[in-house]
């Protein structure tokens, strides 16, 4: 599947913005599509059976939470060593909704850092945090 220039720009923007805000220990939540039983068990750290496992193995997406450790180029590395996390997929930072693909202003960078420090930040419709 070929990506459009708009998708690539959003992905690059998410990388740039995430690099400005994330610090070690931050909890990030994202949507992942898991295709194999081994990958699913490795990602979740537990074994599932029956209908729940069958539903998830059909290519469905699941929300996973990772602890940010560092960067490997443009990929996020979690504290557990998962190293293929793309910033574009992050939907929450320390429990608060976030969209790193949106343009950041200085005030939004401050809001992102506040979220990263565990402070409550109130969102408005025009603010991605």
Give DSSP secondary structure letters for 6-22: HHHHHHHHHHHHHHHH-
Let me know if residue 13 belongs to a domain: yes
Let me know if residue 107 belongs to a domain: yes
pLDDT for res 125: 36
Per-residue pLDDT tens for 45-101?
555 556 666 665 565 677 889 999 999 999 999 999 988 899 999 999 988 888 888
Let me know if residue 75 belongs to a domain: yes
Let me know if residue 121 belongs to a domain: no
Let me know if residue 123 belongs to a domain: no
Per-chain mean pLDDT for the chain: 75
pLDDT for res 1: 44
Q: Which domain holds residue 48?
A: 5-116
Counted domains in the chain = 1
pLDDT for res 79: 93
| Cα–Cα distance for residue pair 112/121, rounded to 1 Å | 9
Let me know if residue 41 belongs to a domain: yes
Let me know if residue 26 belongs to a domain: yes
Let me know if residue 79 belongs to a domain: yes
Share of the chain above pLDDT 90, in %: 30
């Amino acid at each position: 599947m070929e990506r459009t220039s708009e998708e690539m720009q959003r992905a690059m923007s998410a990388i740039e913005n995430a690099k400005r805000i994330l610090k070690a220990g931050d909890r990030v939540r994202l949507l992942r599509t898991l295709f194999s039983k081994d990958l699913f068990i490795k990602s979740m750290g537990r074994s599932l059976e029956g209908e729940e496992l069958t539903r998830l193995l059909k290519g469905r997406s699941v929300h996973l939470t990772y602890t940010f450790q560092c960067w490997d180029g443009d990929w996020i590395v979690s504290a557990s060593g998962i190293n293929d996390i793309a910033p574009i997929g992050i939907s929450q930072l320390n429990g608060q909704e976030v969209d790193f693909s949106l343009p950041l202003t200085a005030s939004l960078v401050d809001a992102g850092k506040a979220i990263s420090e565990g402070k409550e930040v109130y969102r408005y419709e025009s603010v991605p945090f």
